Amino acid sequence: MDFDLMFTSFPKLLGATVITLKLLSASLFFGLIIGLLFAILRLNKNIFINKFAYGYSYLFRGTPLLVQIFIIYFGLGQIEHLRSTFLWVILKEPYWCAIIAFTLNTGAYTSEILRSAFQTINPGIIEAGKSLGISNKIIFYKIQIPIAIRQSLPAYGNEIILMMKGTSLASTVTLMDLTGVAKYIISTTFKPIEVFIVAGGIYLFMTFIIHNVIKFLEKKYSFSQ
Amino acid sequence: MNTFKKTIVTVLCSLLIIGNVYADKIKIGTEGAYPPWNSKDSSGKLIGFEVELANWLCIYMKADCTIVEQDWDGMIPALQMRKFDAIMAGMSITDERKKVITFSQGYADEVASLAVMKGSSLVGMDTPEGINLSLGGSDVKKALKTLTGSLAGKTVCTQTGTIHQNFLESGDVGSVNVRTYKTQDEVNLDLTSGRCDVALAAAVAFTDYAEKSGKQVVLVGPTFSGGAFGNGVGVGIRQASQFGEGSSLGDRDAKLLKDFNEAIDQARKSGKISELAIKWFGFDASM
């Protein structure tokens, strides 16, 4: 075991963690917006809107993230017409391709998490609101959304952790995230075990933080207060 | 430790060692993704210059060989972990790699080159046809200066962990924006898509791709050899000292190195290497 290498590679890997966190936060932010939008579409009574939202979540939950990122990066890059449009400005960059893939993926899972949270809200609460003469809009924003968010916290915490680990696939499209830099160090030192142990430790630490933040939020917003 | 435990440990250890070593088969690792050195045909069978050469070397060594596939970025670690006994994957002999493994004598040498898509501003760069970085001199310096100017601000793509990456990061051509890929196939894809302004690899890797895909990939600038580009391609073998000289594992590796060197001598004398090189590269790349 080469401990020197572990020490010298640690700061480099920590620097690369910034990219990992950027990818994670951007895709979670956009993914949450998409997820909320599609969860609402799923609850719509119109069968076309409903099926469209279902199709999206089925497609992105039913295929591996690696395949999705490859299709968006290498696949779309091969379409010549696309290369002459303004879309290419975004798709040319591996960074944006990764964020698009991660966003669409986490958006699909988030929409399912939020949909089930909306559906488990006790109808009595909404009826109570109605009987007090509160408008449907206010009921949705002030009652349904806060309760749904509270309900979905444990499942959403899992999704954040899964997505954090998923960002390691960014290295397959040339991005120098935590895994990318780990692979780069290995390509010059030929010592995979030491470097991956350090990289794995950093991922574990991030999971630890996310896990505890979610636990704290769960406690804070629990009903039993 | 009681006898029972000792017996179990002994049995397990010997099983591990027998399984890996005393099967007197030589396992040769190759990438299968770097044509024409080594690649796969449409049915997934390994083909290429090195695959055929490996089979001939084994005939000369009178050894039973199997050729196994391994991703490029894990090639040297896999050798060290005894997943196979020798590397034949277009791997150039460099000082950096010699720190961790050993090499047989070189069997082939081939120059590296930059490539761009037709119509790129880099076409027609004013440099000599080829430069040898080991020789140095004013010609080489002038060529590197021209390259530094032309590559500034360009995205240069290459495969991870290659001599080409080492060269781009050596500072010989200034600080260029290097983007690295897992395989040469992916480099080719992004060169044609336009994400890469220019790519660096073995010259034949580009000409082979241009020919097979019909894409307008053209070579630009000088061909490179020497310096960061190493001293030809050889068979990579574990250092005998990794398991201790005199140990059975170390001895086996030392013998393997000797056998490969003799087999390469024989293949060179009989003209086999030249013959295979002409078949796969279109010119005699033997050394």
Q: What CATH number is given to the structural domain containing A47? A: 1.10.3720.10
A52 shares contact with chain B (CB less than 8 Å)? no
Instruction: Kindly determine whether residue A187 and residue B96, on different chains, have CB atoms separated by under 8 Å.
Output: no
The total of other beta-carbon atoms located within 10 Å of residue B73's CB is: 22
Mean pLDDT of A110-123: 93
Mean pLDDT of A201-219: 95
Tell me which chain A residue has its CA closest to the CA of residue B195. A92
- pLDDT higher than threshold 70 for residue B214: yes
Judge contact between B184 and B242, C-beta under 8 A. Answer: no
Tell me which chain A residue has its CA closest to the CA of residue B181. A174
What is the C-alpha separation between B27 and B38, in angstroms, rounded? 16
Task: Indicate the burial class of B43 (C-beta count within 10 angstroms; 0-12, 13-18, 19 or more).
Answer: exposed
Question: Is A148 contained in some domain?
Answer: yes
H or E stretch at B76? helix B75-80
Mapped onto helix, strand or coil, the DSSP state of residue A113 is helix
What is the C-alpha separation between A80 and B127, in angstroms, rounded? 32
- pLDDT higher than threshold 60 for residue A118: yes
What is the C-alpha separation between B137 and A76, in angstroms, rounded? 45
Instruction: Please name which of B32, B67, B107 lies closest in space to residue B286, comparing C-alpha atoms.
Output: B107
Chain B residues with CB inside 8 Å of A192's CB?
Answer: 74, 77
Quote the pLDDT of residue A52.
96
What is the C-alpha separation between B44 and B46, in angstroms, rounded? 6
Q: What digits encode the pLDDT tens for the residues B240-261?
A: 888 777 788 889 999 999 999 9
A41 shares contact with chain B (CB less than 8 Å)? no
- pLDDT higher than threshold 60 for residue B127: yes
Question: Is A141 contained in some domain?
Answer: yes
Mean pLDDT rounded to a whole number for chain A: 94
**What percentage of chain B reaches a pLDDT higher than 90?**
74
Instruction: Please name which of B30, B29, B28, B38 lies closest in space to residue B202, comparing C-alpha atoms.
Output: B38
- pLDDT higher than threshold 90 for residue B5: no
Q: What is the DSSP letter of A134?
A: -
User: Which tokens sit at B212?
Assistant: 């097979």
Which residue from B76, B189, B193 is facing A83, i.e. has the nearest CB? B193
Chain A residues with CB inside 8 Å of B160's CB?
Answer: 183-184, 187
**Amino acid in position B66:** T
Q: What is the DSSP letter of B162?
A: S
Q: Which residues contact B87 (CB under 8 A, 6 or more apart)?
A: B28, B29, B30, B75, B76, B79, B101, B235, B236, B237
A184 shares contact with chain B (CB less than 8 Å)? yes
> How far from each other are the two terminal CA atoms of chain B, in whole angstroms?
56
Q: Which residues contact B26 (CB under 8 A, 6 or more apart)?
A: B58, B61, B63, B64, B65, B66, B85, B86, B256
Q: What digits encode the pLDDT tens for the residues A142-154?
A: 888 888 888 899 9
Judge contact between B134 and B226, C-beta under 8 A. Answer: yes
From B75's Cα to the closest Cα of chain A, the distance in A is 9
Question: Is A182 contained in some domain?
Answer: yes
Which residue from B76, B160, B192 is facing A183, i.e. has the nearest CB? B160
Question: Is A30 contained in some domain?
Answer: yes
Judge contact between A178 and A16, C-beta under 8 A. Answer: yes
User: Which tokens sit at B265?
Assistant: 């001598």
A219 shares contact with chain B (CB less than 8 Å)? no
Instruction: Kindly determine whether residue A188 and residue B96, on different chains, have CB atoms separated by under 8 Å.
Output: yes
A196 shares contact with chain B (CB less than 8 Å)? no
Domain, as residue range, for A54? 3-220
Instruction: Kindly determine whether residue B77 and residue A192, on different chains, have CB atoms separated by under 8 Å.
Output: yes
Q: Measure CA A16 to chain center.
A: 19
Mean pLDDT of B223-230: 92
Question: Is A166 contained in some domain?
Answer: yes
From B218's Cα to the closest Cα of chain A, the distance in A is 19
What is the C-alpha separation between B160 and B137, in angstroms, rounded? 29
Task: Indicate the burial class of B52 (C-beta count within 10 angstroms; 0-12, 13-18, 19 or more).
Answer: middle
**What's phi and psi for B69, nearest 5 deg?**
-100, 145
Question: Is A76 contained in some domain?
Answer: yes
Which of A78-82, A96-100, B224-228 tops mean pLDDT? A96-100
Mapped onto helix, strand or coil, the DSSP state of residue B172 is strand
H or E stretch at B132? strand B130-132
Question: Is A225 contained in some domain?
Answer: no
Question: Is A208 contained in some domain?
Answer: yes
Which residue from A174, A183, A190 is facing B179, i.e. has the nearest CB? A174
Chain A residues with CB inside 8 Å of B74's CB?
Answer: 192
Quote the pLDDT of residue B10.
65
A96 shares contact with chain B (CB less than 8 Å)? no
Q: How many domains does chain A have?
A: 1
